[in-house]
Chain A
């Protein structure tokens, strides 16, 4: 796939919860396989909802999403159609820890590859160990989630998603629940992935991280895209008043 053909194309996406709370109100976003999109915006603005829709976890009201040129999600007469095969090529890491508590680290990593793809256990274990070694977690292979720090849990969650060779990774405020001293180790792992050209959509409130990882920054508020551009522009000299206000307030930066 070329770097400029759209990997994800979102058109006219509307999403409400129970028809009452209108969260996304006609969102249009296009991203290429070379993009690392950082989404910023006020709390309650629908960032998590957007990522959950992209992951195929939510019903939508209107609009459509294509992936690599193929239909992925669409809404027809009130019903949301989600292509499960496309969904399997997307990975997501959540804000809250989602490791399965009854499985050790290796068990968490090989569950989906062995059950979903029918990969041999020995092969999956070998790939899992390689990933854990890369993330500095080899000695934790047989630890249970309850025995890990928050930073370690999130790194394992990232490794678990990578076991399925995703073509797109979604990160929803994956460091927000962490103690400050644990944030860097998780961000380093994501930066590592970025260097390997993994397409990703990241929701974060970390200015340093956003600047360093983004090829594009999107400011979302009120369920629509307010501003969309390179990080220097959106974070450094925003065109929109609302973006400027938000950045000053959240990142304490005066322009």
Chain B
């Protein structure tokens, strides 16, 4: 192999990468706030007994689940300003696109764990005189949230990785800074290796936590 690695010139210019990581983390946190809250509302709506509510919400969720995230981001960036005559700044638009995408996936996670609450537990709730609202609040919600935590974390960290896509619409995130640095140093291989390692360093501990939570849940459920 004739290629000689030269990490030194990349290390000398690392500062923008940290700025980029900060933007990426901001995107991730904001998108997760949207994903966790809106996702739960969507899950409740999609289980509504009224078709008129169920149908549009199902469509909304499936649209985000069944189209590539990169198209959603591009679409948000170019179509929303044209259609609605609003432009909210590239970071905000990125957050919206990533947040709605995450909400759609989280809605599915919430729905599955809400429907997994055993019927007998709800019967016991009736036998104890709890009202329907109290049964949602004190029986369904705590169990459903607890059961969906591993999937929510997995989805959330997925958004951290997917946020790299917003670089194509000029959000100055970790990926964007990486591309700039690669051009600057003429060292794309080294630069992207480091960028990948940064993504990995954040994602890996979270996926370990997910694994731990799932093992613990299996023990508790037995």
Contact = CB atoms under 8 A, between A and B. Distances in A.
Interface of A: 52, 55-57, 84, 87-88, 90-92, 94, 96-98, 100-102, 111-112, 115-116, 144, 146, 157, 160-161, 164
Interface string B180-222: 0000000000000000000000000000000000000000111
Interface in B153-188: none
B138 A98 contact: no
Pairs of residues from A and B, 7 with the lowest C-beta to C-beta distance, nearest first: A98-B124, A112-B128, A88-B129, A116-B129, A102-B142, A92-B127, A146-B220
A91 B142 contact: no
B143 A101 contact: yes
Contacts, number: 61
B134 interface: yes
B126 interface: yes
18 contacts: A55-B126, A87-B129, A91-B127, A94-B120, A94-B123, A100-B121, A100-B124, A100-B139, A100-B142, A101-B143, A111-B128, A112-B128, A112-B130, A116-B130, A146-B220, A146-B221, A146-B222, A160-B128
Nearest to B146: A102
A50 to B, nearest CB: 15
B117 to A, nearest CB: 10
B124 A94 contact: yes
A98 B121 contact: yes
Given A98-B120, A100-B121, A102-B142, A115 B134 contact: yes
Nearest to B121: A98
B62 to A, nearest CB: 30
A55 B128 contact: no
A202 to B, nearest CB: 16
Q: How large is the interface on B (under 10, 10 to 19, 20 to 34, 35 or more residues)?
A: 10 to 19
B69 to A, nearest CB: 34
A55 B134 contact: no
A72 B30 CA distance: 52
Interface in B114-144: 118, 120-121, 123-124, 126-130, 134, 138-139, 142-143
A115 B126 contact: no
B123 A164 contact: no
Contacts of B121: 98, 100
A161 B127 contact: yes
B143 to A, nearest CB: 6
B138 A96 contact: no
B221 to A, nearest CB: 7
A156 to B, nearest CB: 12
A79 B13 CA distance: 75
Nearest to B142: A102
Given A111-B138, A115-B130, A115-B134, 17 more contacts: A55-B127, A87-B126, A87-B129, A88-B129, A91-B127, A92-B124, A92-B127, A98-B118, A100-B121, A100-B138, A100-B139, A100-B143, A102-B143, A111-B128, A116-B130, A161-B128, A164-B128
Contacts of A146: 220-222
A57 B134 contact: no
Nearest to B126: A57
Nearest to B131: A116
Interface string B101-125: 0000000000000000010110110
Nearest to A97: B120
B127 to A, nearest CB: 4
A164 B142 contact: no
A94 B134 CA distance: 20
A3 to B, nearest CB: 26
A115 B138 contact: yes
Contacts of A90: 127
Contacts of B146: 102
Contacts of B143: 100-102
Nearest to B128: A112
